[in-house]
Amino acid sequence: MTPQLSFAVLDVVPEPYAVTPNLLARVRVEEGTGEPVHALALRAQVRIEPQRRRYDDEEERALRDLFGDRSRFAQTLRPFSWLHTSTVAPGFTGATELQLVLPCTYDFDVAGTPYLHGLRDGEVPLLFLFSGTVFGRGATGFAVTPVSWEAEARYRLPVAVWRDLMEAHFPGSEWVRMRRDTVDALAQHRSRRGLTSWDDVVTTLLAEAGQPAGEPAGP
């Protein structure tokens, strides 16, 4: 008998004591036929569904580079991939709960980061798309069955959970990746001006460009 698996994401919380910023998704898996599952090799693609929430004016400005202004939202707010993860679960009958490690990043070149950074409150609509392999009992004693391509689950992640995670790993700071030659040029500027921090480097350049730090960019 072919296993019938269904999935539900129960909660998503920061992984405590992790060296890098990770979230932990607690997932309930139910098998509907009553057949024992010997093992489950599970993969998940996690997508963000930006069209499933509202945005205030401040969030719209923060997300303009991703989606354009509000007049374009009907065309630009489309689901996009955030991350991939996998795990192997031990055998069970009926139902089980497992944890998926969701590795996060503050790299602004990854589409999910500027999106999450631009949100002020509310929830992040997530879609978990599951795949993998079910190991169970078959006519010859052993069977290998793929997880149905229709297996999915939605979850609304509080924005505060992601913000708290990043604050724990990058307190009071942001992470921006630049080319090595750009960093070299900034380092020379820092040395010439006798500046004591990278914040001073950037704020002086912003001031010279007529954009004081802490003020929003123009429309």
Q: For residue range 10-50, what is the model confidence (pLDDT) as tens digits?
A: 999 999 888 989 999 999 999 999 889 999 999 999 999 99
Among candidate residues 42, 38, 51, 56, the one with its CA nearest the CA of residue 6: 42
Q: Which domains does the chain have, with CATH numbers?
A: 5-169 (2.60.40), 178-219 (no CATH)
- Measured between alpha carbons, how far is 128 from 44 in angstroms, rounded to an integer? 6
Give the pLDDT confidence of 117-172 residue by residue, as tens digits.
999 999 999 999 999 999 988 767 788 999 999 999 999 999 999 999 999 988 77
pLDDT value, residue 195: 81
Give the pLDDT confidence of 1-13 residue by residue, as tens digits.
678 999 999 999 9
**Residues in contact with 66: Cβ distance below 8 Å, sequence separation at least 6, in sequence order:** 76, 111, 114, 115, 118
